[in-house]
Structure 1
Amino acid sequence: MENQDDSTKQFYLYRVALRLTPGRINTGYRDENHAVASDISVAEISDAGLDAVRYLNVHEAMGTLSLAVVPSAIVAVQCIRIPTSEVIIDDQPASVRAAVEGVRNATRKLRIAEEALSSIEPRVRRMMTLGMRPDPDSAAKRIGKLEQKYYRSWHDLRQHLASEYLPNVSAVIRRDFNDAVAGWRDENAEVFVQRYRRLASLLERPSQAIADVSTHAWRSLDGA
């Protein structure tokens, strides 16, 4: 979502059924610290006479053993859209409500200031903010400060959400998660909170996520 700039795309969570022939999995495992598994092509795996390669994951799930497979090894899938369309209606903690209000106030002040300079094209306004064009009444500089407060309010909201809704997730995963969802900023902070909580639940309650996927019918990929 972050590295590929895909925050606005629809994502899916898959459960995969594999058919792996004994002897067609690598002995031991590759260490991504020395050999990045994501660089393996299907042709390389097939040329080695393998259907799957085990590797020590140091990126997406640091410290775990993951599996790279050729497409023909996948015989069926189950999947759900993420985040789900569920609406969460329970009361929000006071810290989250305050952070949401902080975003609202910062957004409102920024939009009012921007409207006052709407006749000036953004490029020129940016040059005024940077001191490259005259800014007689310092209006452009004020917008610059308001933008900083706006982004800081969103950062604070994500931090409060992580503390409340990702208490059992490691600090590293929590940071990566917050960086990834930063692209979801919306004029309505409540929309962001809803989406954040629905996706965070996959990390906080993985057994429930697996159960949800399991309720969907298997889709065969090999005609079996």
Structure 2
Amino acid sequence: MPQDQLVERRDGFNYGYRMRCECGRSSLLSARDYADEINEAHLDCEHCGAGIHFGRAVIAIRDEHDLALDDEMVSRFAWYHTSTWPNWPSPDYANQTKLKLKESAGRLGFSVERALEKVTTQAFHLGTYEAAVENMFRRMRDQADGGAQFHLYRVKLRPGLRIEEGYRDENLDEAAQLTVPELEASGVDVVRYLNAHEAEGTLSVAVQPDALASVQQIAVPVAQLADEVPGTDPVGASDVVVAQRESDQASAMLRDVSVYERRLMKFGLRPDPDGLGRVAADRQMEVYEKWTAFEDELARLYMPDISPMVVVDFQQGLRSWRGAVGCVEPDRFSERVSQMAALVTEPEKVIRLLSQQSWRAIGRGA
């Protein structure tokens, strides 16, 4: 099969969920109800009537007839991955990782050799387009990658791979941290698993490095789509500017007071006779509130039909970007949001552009 005829499987970013009951069957839950944690995060099982305390721990597969369960289809699918490495999977990954680990080892007190072995022997993880994009948002938030340059990869697997039967549940079985030696010990090249962290309920795969045949890549945000984003004037931008200016003025009145002392003043543990500490704290809280309102307005403007669960992940990721790059200008932030939002609102265009990129052979096919 030609590489440009890989099979796509798309769920979009406005999906619902299925939650597993103790009876062994699953029930549908909308993204809105999930986000609102209805009934104190409980829903009634559609089959036995028992209560299900829903959440990631009981995520069930969305489609029990997912084509990814067909071994012959695994190598026919286009799989996706996001990485901060511009040439993933990089042959220099181990050396670069070792340098980074050495910088942190003394400060954090761990063994470079043991950490390096764990990191560099992990299997490669691939998923749907949605899972790859959501993984990027999570990394921006949780792994200090807020300001990093990400790349989106479209992956072709080799035919004839050894595939473990069925799929593992990420909540119940070892899957997310699978290593190459563990795959070898199991006698397989590919392990399918139920993803409980990104695009929850879809099937991802952990694969041996040699299972990759070739990749296409594109930097995100996608420059071609960024040029198509129309200019807007979101409500709330001026409120952020005013709040920030007033906060800066209040902080300037405390220029001779340390941050530590300001915190004590805030909690009444240090005298604040002129009320300057309280005013500064109040102004800073107003900045936070105005930014939050502005972020919600941008989400309404640029992602009106996207799952509220995905929107939250998106907002947290972009908030990390703002902190990493020191962005305090609403206009600049708005531009970044509009560019990144195209990944979830225009996935067909992103995939089309990605599929037009040149293939780069991996491993023995290079």
Give your verdict on TM over 0.5: yes
Q: 1:44 to 1:89 in 2, by over 3 A?
A: closer
Partner of 1:14, secondary structure, is strand
Matched, 1:58 2:58: no
C-alpha deviation, 1:215, in angstroms: 2.7
For the Cα contact (< 8 Å) 2:168–2:175, is it kept in 1? yes
User: Superposed, which structure 2 residues align to 1:198-213 within 5 Å?
Assistant: 198-213=339-354
Partner amino acid, structure 2, of 1:8? G
Identity of aligned residues (%): 36
SS of corresponding position for 1:124: helix
Q: Give the TM-score taking structure 2 as reference length.
A: 0.57
Q: Which residue of 2 aligns with 1:14?
A: 153
- Which stretch shows the higher mean deviation, 204-213 or 123-132? 123-132
Distance 1:209 1:88, change over 3 A: closer
- The answer for the alignment partner of 1:114 in structure 2 is 251
* DSSP 3-state at the match of 1:92: coil
- Counterparts of 2:294 and 2:173, CA distance in 1: 38
Pair 1:40-2:181 in alignment: no
Distance 1:213 1:89, change over 3 A: closer
SS class of match (2:342): helix
Shift of 1:139: 0.7
Task: Pick one of 88, 92, 115 that aligns with 2:232.
Answer: 92
1:158 and 2:158 correspond:
no
Deviation at 1:51? Answer: 1.0
Number of aligned positions between the proteins: 220
Contact 1:25 1:50 in 2 (8 A): yes
Structure 2 stretches of 5 or more lacking a match? 1-139
RMSD: 1.7
SS in 1 for 2:236: helix
Query: Cα distance, 1:128 vs. partner?
Result: 1.4
Letter in 2 for 1:133: R
Q: Which deviations, in whole Å up to 9, do the C-alpha atoms of 1:142-195 show, x marking residues without a partner?
A: 111111111111111111111121122211111111122112331211111111
Quote the residue 2:142 is aligned against. 3
More relative contact order, 1 or 2 (CA 8 Å, 6+ apart): 1
CA distance in 2 between partners of 1:108 and 1:92 (Å): 23
Mapping for residues 172-211 of structure 1, pairs under 5 Å: 172-185=309-322, 186-211=327-352
Q: In the TM superposition, what whole-angstrom CA distance separates every residue of 1:70-117 from its partner, at most 9, and x where no partner exists?
A: 111112111111123435662426xx2x22112111111111111221
One-letter identity of the residue aligned with 1:3: D
**In the alignment, which residue of structure 1 is the partner of 2:214?**
76
C-alpha contact 1:184 1:192 (8 A) present in aligned 2 = no
After TM superposition, what 4+ stretches of structure 1 lie above 2 angstroms from structure 2? 84-91
TM-score normalised per structure 1: 0.91
